[in-house]
Amino acid sequence: MTRTIAHPANADIASALTEARADFVKRNPKSQKLHEDACGSLPGGNTRTVLFYGPFPVTMVKGQGANLWDADGKKYIDFLGEYTAGIYGHSHPVIRKAIDRALDDGINRGAHNQMEGKLAALICARFPTIELVRFTNSGTEANLMAITLARAFTGRKKVMVFDGGYHGGIFTFHDGNSPVNGPFDFVIAPYNDAEGTRKLIAEAGKDLAVVAVEPMQGGIGCIAADASFLRVLREETQKIGALLLFDEVMTSRLSPGGMQAVLGITPDLTTLGKYIGGGMSFGAFGGRADIMSRFDPRRADALPHAGTFNNNILTMSAGVVGLERLYTPEAAVKLNAFGDRLRDRLNAATRDKGLNMQFTGIGSMICVHFVKGVIKSAKDAKKANKDLGELFFLDLLARGIYIARRGMMALSLPLTEADGDQLVAAVEEFVSSRKRLLQ
């Protein structure tokens, strides 16, 4: 059951936030101490930027099914789902058994193993546009390899990405070209602007190697691409001989065959992420056989692709049972239908009442935005009230609901309808107690 919180300080957002932060500090002394200790050896006590928030992040010490427990002993329903990677929940017995069995047979073998070909075949069957596939250790690495491959295959240098896009730690475009991005010749185009992008593709012409796009931008707030926009990308890249890369690290979970299957659009290359590897460290890139075969080591002109853990037996084993037995096509349909129903209920409690609050996304991916109007791009999302976003996050934590600080949710298989009811109840309570701040 969610915890009910009284809110005397609702005169304005600043007062409400001050109270919520003070309550957070009071409830989390052990997490505060752990964070302060970590600051002695980690910059800001942090080694993964997205997980940090003020006054300090909660430290989670246990996960089981769809639940988490923090260092101070509080239990949460996990609606974050490890930013889509945790689709199987925590310690799923089928995943755990596969990993235990792999451990029993020894890891770090320095050789081919019996599971990598099986996982590759499952992926190629699930995503028909992937004729051949190779494995990496993360979505970031998968996108790096796919983009580098596109440049080698075409002999061109320019890479088109989109404002608000996220393709990993070295491909982040929420505020232009980040100083830690890979040193590529990027063309940053406007997301969901077909004509503006068409013009930029034409200007780049024969210098453009690849257009990399998320069918739904996850990092900036679950903003779906218009099908017509993506079709323009397919048409224009074909005209000039550039490749089209669908980054489906997140969105591949949204149907049995990813968003490309829903849209009926065939990219040249596709990247995938950690849930495909059973939630372990994993990434994959694949696509047309004539492109991917450049990595065939039997060729005299083969491109190299190293990586000690590309085929690590723990991930391969977890990935196989995950796709074969757990996230089947039927399970994908069911989970995403659950997400669509849940999003509709959340919007009925917020946007449909004319409040400055709405939920975007597709299927099992959801994000809250504290702004009215249609959200089609990063520019639209950035109009949202950030203080209300922080207040919502802190209020949900106080009620035992765990989401991303930025408002993102990714549903996992262990979540139940009752869990969804608790999320809706927590949102309705937030709306009731904070209504004057949302108008």
Instruction: Specify the pLDDT at position 11.
Output: 73
How does residue 6 score in pLDDT terms, banded at 50, 70 and 90?
low
Average pLDDT over residues 204-231: 98
Q: Topology of 13-90+331-438 in CATH?
A: Aspartate Aminotransferase, domain 1 (3.90.1150)
Mean of all residue pLDDT scores within the chain? 96
Give the containing element (helix H, strand E) for 189: strand 185-189
**Best CATH choice for the domain 93-326 from the list 2.120.10.30, 3.20.20.140, 3.40.640.10, 3.90.1720.10:** 3.40.640.10
Give the containing element (helix H, strand E) for 358: strand 358-362
pLDDT one-digit tens code per residue, 136-184:
999 999 999 999 999 999 999 999 999 999 999 999 999 999 999 999 9
Where in the chain are the domains? 13-90+331-438, 93-326
Active site residues: 166, 247, 274
> Residue 92 corresponds to which tokens in the numbers above?
């799923």
Phi (first) and psi of residue 84, to 5 degrees:
90, -20
pLDDT one-digit tens code per residue, 12-70:
999 999 999 999 999 999 999 999 999 999 999 999 999 999 999 999 999 999 999 99
How does residue 333 score in pLDDT terms, banded at 50, 70 and 90?
very high
What secondary structure letter does DSSP report for 256?
T
Neighbours of 137 (CB within 10 A): 19
Q: Please name the amino acid found at residue 431.
A: V
Instruction: Specify the pLDDT at position 5.
Output: 53
Q: How far apart are CA 66 and CA 359, in angstroms?
A: 21
Is residue 1 scored above 50 in pLDDT? no
Which of 149, 99, 378, 173 lies closest to 271 in space, CA to CA?
149
Average pLDDT over residues 130-134: 98
How does residue 207 score in pLDDT terms, banded at 50, 70 and 90?
very high
- The pTM for the full model equals 0.95
pLDDT one-digit tens code per residue, 101-111:
999 999 989 99
What does 88-147 look like in DSSP terms, one character per residue? T-BS-HHHHHHHHHHHHT-S--SS--TTHHHHHHHHHHHSTT-SEEEEESSHHHHHHHHH
